[in-house]
Amino acid sequence: MNAPLLELDDLRVEFKVRGHRIPAVRGASFTLEQGRTLAVVGESGSGKSVTSQAIMGILDTPPAKVTGGRVLLHGVDLLEQDEETRRSIRGNHIAIVFQDALSALNPLWSVGFQIGELFRVHRGTSRAEAKKKAIDLLDQVGIPDARNRVGNYPHQFSGGMRQRVMIAMALALDPEVLIADEPTTALDVTVQAQIMRLLKRIQEERDMGLILITHDLGVVADVADDVAVMYAGEVVERAGIRDTFKRPAHPYTKALLRAIPRVDSVGRELEVIRGLPPNPADLPSGCPFHPRCFAAEDRCAEEVPPWTEPAEHHGARCHFAEEVYVDER
């Protein structure tokens, strides 16, 4: 059988801080198929962004270090490649859209220059041809009057327009995998929807694999094909988008779904997940979610839950995954 487009196999990342080794990602595993969208969901501190940076090979080392696992692109382990090879893969095969476009863009250069630089450096394109390609990309991502705005600087764009510029930069070299790390953070609801529709359209037109990193399951409901839910540095549930919403197998996934505001709950108190995510330097024994879990029992505090697959293409790290899956009340 053909290998998946991208596969994470037991990825482990730690940070060395004041002589202590702190696990940030603890055995994350998931696959991304060509032409599909995978949403990686979880609260802040769950390890989502560190995972994406490990895939890209842009972790600050030190203090970060990949200590185990594999990142496979078409079956080839990227972690075994030298830096020159990784550099050639970034942009050409895997690209990323960061959550803070204003910080990611250089304020001293026009957006057209920054997009065109990718063509000049990686393709040897002339300055004039690079500008034409930048205009075309800006037009593709919905920047009005792209020909006249190509010479504008990042501060001259709104937040939503800057995010579109970042998407244009990521698409410049026609990558096979696009990682969008919280692409709608700090944007209003209307602009969020526009950016999500843009990403979905581009993914379908180019038949790319899209990894969408977010803390909000509601944002991905209409665009994702598959979901990986992360908590305390590990993937605690993987499923198709329908099973994630209709039959969540992990209590954490259920809690995230309950926290989504609903139009039919006006006047009722918004549900929240009690407590705070655990400190990665001092994780609870047993299941790391048990101190906050509404379904926890004594064994949850003592035994690390195994990975269970209650149905085909649906797995969860919970002692009671099969029972939760069956119980659809």
Q: How confident is the model at residue 177 (pLDDT cuts 50, 70, 90)?
A: very high
- Tell me the per-residue pLDDT of 65-82, one tens digit each, with 9 for 90 and over: 999 999 999 999 999 999
pLDDT at 326: 58
Q: How far apart are CA 92 and CA 121, in angstroms?
A: 12
pLDDT (average), residues 8-29: 95
154 preceded by a cis bond (ω within 30 of 0): no
pLDDT at 329: 40
Q: What is the DSSP letter of 327?
A: -
**313 torsion bin: left (phi>0), alpha (psi -120 to 50), beta (else):** left
H or E segment to which residue 49 belongs: helix 48-56
Q: Tokens for 168?
A: 């244009």
Residue 93 has pLDDT above 90, yes or no: yes
- Tell me the per-residue pLDDT of 271-329, one tens digit each, with 9 for 90 and over: 889 999 999 999 999 999 999 999 999 999 999 999 999 888 999 999 998 875 554 44
Residue pair 225/296 in contact by the 8 Å Cβ criterion: no
Q: How confident is the model at residue 222 (pLDDT cuts 50, 70, 90)?
A: confident
Mean pLDDT score across all residues of the chain = 92
pLDDT at 1: 54
- Rounded to 5 degrees, φ, ψ at 67 are -105, -5
Report for 165-179, 211-225, 309-323: range of highest mean pLDDT = 165-179
Q: How far apart are CA 131 and CA 113, in angstroms?
A: 7
- Tell me the per-residue pLDDT of 99-147, one tens digit each, with 9 for 90 and over: 888 889 999 999 999 999 999 999 999 999 999 999 999 999 999 999 9
Residue 201 has pLDDT above 70, yes or no: yes
Of 30, 44, 303, residue with least CA distance to 182: 44
Mean pLDDT check: name the lowest of 34-38, 194-198, 269-273: 269-273
Residue pair 208/32 in contact by the 8 Å Cβ criterion: no
Residue 291: CB partners within 8 Å, gap ≥ 6? 275, 278, 284
- Tell me the per-residue pLDDT of 186-196, one tens digit each, with 9 for 90 and over: 788 888 889 99
Domains and CATH numbers, the chain: 6-93+175-326 (3.40.50.300)
**Could you tell me the pTM of the whole model?**
0.93
